[in-house]
Structure formats: C-alpha cells, structure tokens
C-alpha cells in the first residue's frame, strides 16, 4: 500500500537526484504535494498554510543544503514539525494532590465520550486507581443506561442519580458526585457529559457550569478522528467555551488519516493525551505523536524504513567499519556483518517495498531471492578465520572445501569472492568520495549502501560537502556525526513507531 504522497514525491524528485541540493523551486513543488496530502488528511486549511510556511522556512535554511536525498530530507522536516505540533512527547494525566482527581469529558455528539469514559475507567482501575463514573449526559436517550452497562462490565461504580432522557440537572449531578466521591474515597472521578455543539450557547454554558461545579484536574475534549475541516471551529468553541486541558482522539482504528489531530493540537495548543482505537474496552492507549504524524502524512512506511535503518545500523559498528575501509582492511567477516545488519532490518523485499516508487520495482522485487543472504552467510561461515580476513589465499582446494562445507558449488564460492572484491573496491572508491553502490547485494536490487560506506562517507562529506546517497541509513550515521543537526529530535531512533 503506497501512499499517494510517497509516489507523487518520487515523481517530483525524479530529476533531482543528480543535483543533490534543494532549490527553492524544488521545495515548493514538494510542499505543494505535501499541502495536498495534508488537506486530504483533513488537516484544517489554515493550519496547513501555517505549517507549510514553517516547513518552507526550515527547508530553505542551511539544514537542507546538507541533504543527500532531498525528498527524504523534506519529508523528515515535515515529520519532525508534525511531531512537534502534535505534542512532541507523550503527555500524562495530571492527578490531583488531594484526591479525588476529577476528569471531565466534553465533545460533540457521537464523538465517543461515553465509550471512552468506560475505557478510561478501566485503564485507571488497572493502574490501581479507584475510579467512579458519573453520568451527566442526561440528554441522549439511555446514555445513563449505557454508562451503567459499561461501568458494570469494567467493574467500576457509576454515580447516576438521574435516569436521564431529557430530565434532571447535570450540574447538580456533577456536584453531588464530587461529594459522594470524597465521602466514599474514590481516587478518580470521571464525568461523562452530553454531546453538544460548539455553537449551542445554552449547552456550552451548562458545560461551563459543570466545570465550575467539579473543578476538574483535566477537561478532556473528545473528538472523532474522522472529523473534517470543522475540527478547528469545534476545538476553538470548546477551548473558549469550556476550557480544555487535553484532547482524546477516538475511532483511530478506522482508516481516516486523522488530520484533525493536527488541527486541534495547533488551534488549542493542548496536548493529545489518549487515543481510542477500537470497540473493546481495552482499545485505549496513550497518544503517540510520532505515529500520528506518520499516519497524517501517509508516509508511515517510509518513516518506518528510516527508523528501522536508524535502529539496525549500530553506530559504533558503522564507525569501526569506516575505519577499516579507510585502512583498507575490509574483510569477508565485515561483509557478513553488513549483510546481517541488513537482515536485521527485516525482509529485504518488505523493506524495499516500503520505499517510495517501489511500485515500479515490484516485478523485480519478486525476483529477489531472500535466501541469497543465507547462502552467502553459509559460504563465509565455512571459511577459516584466516581465509575470511584474507580472501586472496583462497586457492582451488580451499574453495572446493568451502563449497562442500556450505553445501554450495565452487561456482557459488567463486562468485561470492568476486562480488566481495567488487564491493571492497567500490567501497574504497566511495571512501574517496565516489558514488555508493551495491556492496555485493544479490542481483536485481536497487542501490542500498552499507553501514560502513555511510559512516565513512559521512566523515568525508564533512570534509568535502554533501554527497548524493539515497540511503535512509545515512541519517543514522549522520546523526552520530553531527548531533547538532536535529536538535528537536533527541531520540530519533524511537521517534517512529513500528507498524
């Protein structure tokens, strides 16, 4: 499944690879695609405009002139900005110093407040709290009833003195609930309120009254992740009308891209605290800004790829490799290490499929033999340490022995040795500032530089200027080499959730 954005970006950058650097025009054409992607993800127009302006400014700065792959670099900037707006890090619930902690839920009709109340109660209970649910939605038919059923199924008591269905005063219920909770020593009070429209002044006033009556530690604004452009108006209305402390996104198990998250976070400046991801009462989790960023951008796959590359290529190893290259002591052992690193990143087919534009490569991808790496490994493992260090000593009888030991043929062994020599040569060239290639990778695979080449290149790049690699793994090495480059991204490795 390739996001439209991924493919369109590839199209935009088709002619760009050779240039290496971003021009203002390049950035603009990329940003046009990103603008569209954000709008298609339902990010509010005004938010998109501000956002694009911010990214453009950053992209025009020094930062990108070092970029090796412009598309990736811009995507990276966009992603970082998204994560930042979405709240940077996870936000935790504020608990009152003197219990009970009061959490009030507010939102439009059908946003999922009541269900969320049940989930929140369960989550708190699992954490050792003693929550109580309060039924202040006296409007919707049987909302009280629904809350009671939910309370029963999660084993949390429900304070519901009024039957609802249009009768009773929610403010009174809320007040009484706090008294009740204090008296019975519940640690958290969750107040479910009726769904209301931002423009319904009367109901907004009522929500304010409930807030006054309960003095909540958190007022969580519950919003359906499928909401469109109206998210801005709604969020503003609730922020101004009731005052909110955090946001909960619901129905994230759907396939909406959830751009509303960005709109709401931007407009209210309030963190998104929880994500509700299904109908079961366990389908509830803290909100991960980074995952949401990927989802909105519809570039989850490529970001995952970047992350996997970052994670898998051990930076120290990479540095070591680079030194070896520089000293011309790259051996078959290192070669194998490199392959294992690649393997760690997951199936090569899958990984390549994640790359933008891989659609065109699909037929080639089918020809890739995943076992090739295993076979290569078997051959190398059948060698003596001495042979691995110095493949030049491999004469006919040694090669025959290795072939027998690994269950391969002498031809296979020969071809591996050839490939290794080529790779070593290529790396040496690269170490001198050349183009990264395919160090001994199976046939039919597009360029995919190894860790050694990357680290090495980075070193050189600093001395010389930017190179041209399209390799996402490069970032890992670069981050190690120049920690100041992405100050907003301390834990880049963990910044992108795995799918």
Binding footprint of another protein on the chain (CB under 8 A): 36, 39-42, 44-45, 108-112, 115, 118, 139-143, 145-150, 153, 165, 197-199, 224, 226-231, 233-234, 237, 251, 253-257, 259-260, 279
Compute the least distance from the CB of residue 124 to another protein, in Å: 18
What is the Cα–Cα distance from 181 to 103, expressed in whole angstroms?
Answer: 13
Compute the least distance from the CB of residue 316 to another protein, in Å: 42
Compute the least distance from the CB of residue 146 to another protein, in Å: 4
Q: Please identify, using beta-carbon distances, which residue of 201 and 421 lies nearer to another protein.
A: 201
Closest among 163, 162, 72 to 356, alpha carbons compared: 72
Q: Please identify, using beta-carbon distances, which residue of 178 and 237 lies nearer to another protein.
A: 237
What is the Cα–Cα distance from 259 to 261, expressed in whole angstroms?
Answer: 5
Compute the least distance from the CB of residue 234 to another protein, in Å: 7
Compute the least distance from the CB of residue 389 to another protein, in Å: 54
Helix (H, G, I), strand (E, B) or coil at 252: coil
Q: Please identify, using beta-carbon distances, which residue of 237 and 267 lies nearer to another protein.
A: 237
What is the Cα–Cα distance from 403 to 376, expressed in whole angstroms?
Answer: 11
Distant-in-sequence contacts of 195-198, Cβ < 8 A, 24+ apart: 195/107, 195/108, 195/109, 195/110, 195/111, 195/113, 195/137, 195/139, 195/140, 196/106, 196/108, 196/109, 197/108, 197/109, 197/237, 198/108, 198/233, 198/234, 198/236, 198/237, 198/238, 198/241
Q: Please identify, using beta-carbon distances, which residue of 45 and 393 lies nearer to another protein.
A: 45
What is the Cα–Cα distance from 33 to 11, expressed in whole angstroms?
Answer: 10
Dihedral in degrees, nearest 10, Cα atoms 443, 448, 454, 460? 80
Q: Please identify, using beta-carbon distances, which residue of 253 and 333 lies nearer to another protein.
A: 253
Q: Report the greatest alpha carbon distance in the chain.
A: 94
What is the Cα–Cα distance from 52 to 44, expressed in whole angstroms?
Answer: 12
Q: Please identify, using beta-carbon distances, which residue of 234 and 461 lies nearer to another protein.
A: 234
**Run of H or E residues at 417:** helix 410-431
Closest among 26, 489, 17 to 290, alpha carbons compared: 489
Compute the least distance from the CB of residue 199 to another protein, in Å: 6
Helix (H, G, I), strand (E, B) or coil at 259: coil
Beta-strand pair 188-193/101-107? parallel
Q: Please identify, using beta-carbon distances, which residue of 69 and 268 lies nearer to another protein.
A: 268
Compute the least distance from the CB of residue 145 to another protein, in Å: 4
The residue to which tokens 């520089």 are assigned: 326
What is the Cα–Cα distance from 460 to 133, expressed in whole angstroms?
Answer: 62
Q: Please identify, using beta-carbon distances, which residue of 161 and 385 lies nearer to another protein.
A: 161
Compute the least distance from the CB of residue 272 to another protein, in Å: 17
Q: Please identify, using beta-carbon distances, which residue of 40 and 333 lies nearer to another protein.
A: 40
Compute the least distance from the CB of residue 141 to another protein, in Å: 4
**Run of H or E residues at 105:** strand 101-107
Compute the least distance from the CB of residue 343 to another protein, in Å: 32
Compute the least distance from the CB of residue 227 to another protein, in Å: 5
Q: Please identify, using beta-carbon distances, which residue of 41 and 365 lies nearer to another protein.
A: 41
Contacts of 138 (CB under 8 A, 6+ apart): 144, 162, 164, 165, 166, 167, 168, 169, 170, 173, 194
Q: Please identify, using beta-carbon distances, which residue of 23 and 109 lies nearer to another protein.
A: 109
Helix (H, G, I), strand (E, B) or coil at 221: strand
Cβ-based neighbour number of residue 21 at 10 Å: 15
Closest among 460, 495, 496 to 478, alpha carbons compared: 460
3-state secondary structure 326-361: HCCCCCHHHHHHHHHHHHHCCCHHHHHHHCCCHHHH
Phi/psi of residue 294, nearest 5 degrees: -60, -40
Compute the least distance from the CB of residue 368 to another protein, in Å: 30
Q: Please identify, using beta-carbon distances, which residue of 135 and 417 lies nearer to another protein.
A: 135
């Amino acid at each position: 499944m390739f996001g439209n954005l991924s493919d369109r970006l590839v199209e935009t950058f088709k002619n760009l690879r050779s240039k290496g650097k971003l021009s203002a025009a390049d950035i603009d054409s990329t940003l046009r695609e990103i603008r569209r992607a954000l709008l298609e993800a339902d990010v509010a127009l005004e938010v998109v405009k501000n956002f694009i302006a911010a990214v453009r400014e950053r992209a025009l700065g020094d930062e990108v002139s070092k970029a090796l792959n412009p598309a990736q670099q811009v995507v990276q900037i966009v992603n970082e900005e998204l994560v930042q707006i979405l709240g940077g890090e996870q936000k935790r619930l504020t608990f009152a110093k003197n219990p009970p902690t009061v959490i009030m839920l507010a939102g439009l009709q059908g946003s999922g407040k009541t269900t969320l109340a049940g989930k929140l109660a369960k989550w708190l209970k699992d954490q050792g709290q003693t929550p109580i649910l309060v039924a202040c939605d006296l409007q919707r038919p049987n909302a009280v009833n629904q809350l009671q059923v939910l309370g029963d199924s999660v084993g949390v008591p429900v304070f519901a003195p009024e039957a609802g269905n249009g009768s009773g005063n929610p403010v009174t219920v809320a007040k009484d609930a706090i008294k009740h909770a204090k008296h019975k020593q519940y640690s958290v009070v969750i107040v479910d309120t009726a769904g209301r429209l931002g423009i319904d002044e009367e109901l907004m006033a009522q929500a304010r009254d409930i807030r006054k009556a309960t003095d909540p530690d958190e007022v969580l604004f519950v919003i359906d992740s499928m909401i469109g452009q109206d998210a801005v108006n709604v969020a503003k209305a609730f922020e101004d009308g009731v005052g909110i402390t955090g946001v909960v996104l619901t129905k994230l198990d759907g396939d909406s891209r959830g751009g509303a998250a960005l709109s709401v976070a931007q407009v209210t400046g309030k963190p998104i605290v929880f994500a509700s991801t299904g109908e079961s009462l366990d389908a509830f989790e803290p909100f991960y800004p980074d995952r949401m960023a990927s989802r909105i951008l519809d570039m989850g796959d490529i970001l995952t790829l970047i992350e996997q590359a970052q994670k898998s290529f051990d930076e120290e190893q990479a540095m070591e490799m680079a030194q070896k290259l520089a000293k011309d002591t790259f051996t078959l052992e290192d070669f194998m290490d490199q392959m294992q690193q690649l393997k760690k990143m997951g199936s090569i087919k899958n990984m390549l499929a994640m790359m933008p534009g891989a659609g065109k490569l699909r037929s080639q991808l089918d020809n890739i033999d995943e076992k090739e790496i295993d076979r290569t490994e078997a051959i190398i493992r059948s060698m003596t340490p001495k042979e691995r260090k110095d493949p030049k000593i491999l004469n006919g009888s040694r090669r025959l022995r290795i072939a027998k030991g690994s269950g391969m043929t002498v031809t296979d062994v020969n071809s591996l040795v050839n490939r290794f020599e080529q790779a070593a040569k290529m790396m040496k060239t690269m170490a001198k500032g050349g183009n990264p290639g395919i160090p001994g990778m199976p046939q039919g695979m597009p360029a995919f530089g190894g860790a050694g080449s990357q680290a090495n290149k980075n070193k050189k790049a600093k001395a010389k200027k930017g190179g041209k690699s399209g390799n996402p793994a490069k970032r890992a090495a670069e981050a190690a080499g120049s920690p100041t480059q992405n100050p907003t991204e301390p834990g880049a490795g963990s910044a992108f959730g795995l799918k």
